[in-house]
Amino acid sequence: MTEAARTEPLLRVRGLEGWYGESHVLHGIDFDVHEGEVVTLLGRNGAGKTSTLLGIMGILPRRAGSVTFEGVETIGMQPRQIARQGIAICPEERGIFSSLSVEENLMLPPRIKDGGLSVERIYDLFPNLRERRRSQGTKLSGGEQQMLAIARILRTGSRLLLLDEPTEGLAPVIVQQIGHTIGALKSEGFTIVLVEQNFRFAASVADRHHVVEQGRVIDVIPNAELDANMDKLHGYLGV
């Protein structure tokens, strides 16, 4: 038994199924995330990565199976109750509010628990946001909006962060900056589920990768074994 398997996982997903109306998109997702880990969900477009995060958060219109967080079953809870357990999402479309200033966007998610980052610490991590805190949220560049979307969930005290493709469509230098940020968050003890298409980026930040295909996790690859599994992974991702 490995070290990780002996302790209770922070997040435990078992047989998670999900639907949009009649359309059945998750067919039994299984994976565990332990305290302090960064894990990825990799997979082609439409594989069900975003839906998995929405399923964990309770936003998916209909879901079944089991999602426990700190040992508590959340499958019957409303999204706001799940958030209050200490899970926070940075959505794929970023969800920056145009009628709110940068600072209002940052301050929007309420504090759930103690132990979140202070606003000063957040502005130190993202100096651009401090400079532009009076601007309208959606006037920021794409990269700045992405940083804002990550920054605002760090204040809340949530220990599990769900990040949906934070590097999508961003310039390499900004991707690098987000990589550093994720590294910094990991060393602060945050637990992160990261959805990625860019697996070179994923390899630079994660402990373990879960390959999602047609609404199932079909393979799990520890980051240390990534090189040995490169051909297989290329096959899964079709790159």
Partner 1 sequence: MFDLLGISPQVLMGQLLLGLINGSFYAVLSLGLAVIFGLLNIINFAHGALYMMGAFVAWMLLSYLGVGYWWALILSPLIVGVFGIVLERTMLSRLYKLDHLYGLLLTFGLALIIQGLFRNYYGISGLPYQIPEALSGGQNLGFMFLPNYRAWVVAASAVVCFGTWFMIEKTRLGAYLRAATENPVLVGAFGINVPLMIMLTYGFGVALAGFAGVLAAPIYSVNPNMGADLIIVVFAVVVIGGMGSIMGAILTGYVLGLVEGLTRVFYPEGSAVVIFVIMAIVLLIKPEGLFGKAA
Residues that bind ligand ADP (CB under 6 A): 20, 23, 25, 43, 45-51
- Between 47 and 178, name the residue whose CB sits nearer to ligand ADP: 47
Look-up: residue for tokens 């994660």? 206
- Between 125 and 162, name the residue whose CB sits nearer to partner 1: 162
**CB of residue 202 to ligand ADP, shortest distance in Å:** 14
156 binds, among Mg ion, partner 1, ligand ADP, none (CB under 5 to 8 A by kind): partner 1
**CB of residue 19 to ligand ADP, shortest distance in Å:** 9
User: Is residue 50 involved in binding Mg ion (CB under 5 A)?
Assistant: yes
Residue 193 · residue 163 · CB < 8 Å:
yes
Write out the binding residues for partner 1, residues 141-170 only, by CB under 8 A: 153, 156
Rounded to whole angstroms, the Cα distance separating 157 from 172 reads 30
Look-up: residue for tokens 């520890």? 222
Question: What residues have CB less than 8 Å from 83, skipping those under 6 apart?
Answer: 57, 109, 112, 158
User: Is residue 40 involved in binding Mg ion (CB under 5 A)?
Assistant: no
Beta pairing class for 62-69 and 208-213: unpaired
Residue 22 · residue 41 · CB < 8 Å:
no
Q: Give the one residue of 46, 110, 115, 169 binding partner 1; rule: CB under 8 A.
A: 110
- Between 177 and 191, name the residue whose CB sits nearer to partner 1: 191
Task: Candidates 26-34, 84-92, 145-153, 211-219: pick the segment binding Mg ion (CB under 5 A).
Answer: 84-92
- Between 20 and 72, name the residue whose CB sits nearer to ligand ADP: 20
Rounded to whole angstroms, the Cα distance separating 146 from 167 reads 8
**CB of residue 59 to partner 1, shortest distance in Å:** 6
**CB of residue 224 to partner 1, shortest distance in Å:** 34
Rounded to whole angstroms, the Cα distance separating 45 from 50 reads 10
| Exposed / middle / buried, residue 152 (Cβ in 10 Å: 0-12, 13-18, 19+) | buried
Give how many residues touch Mg ion by CB under 5 A. 2
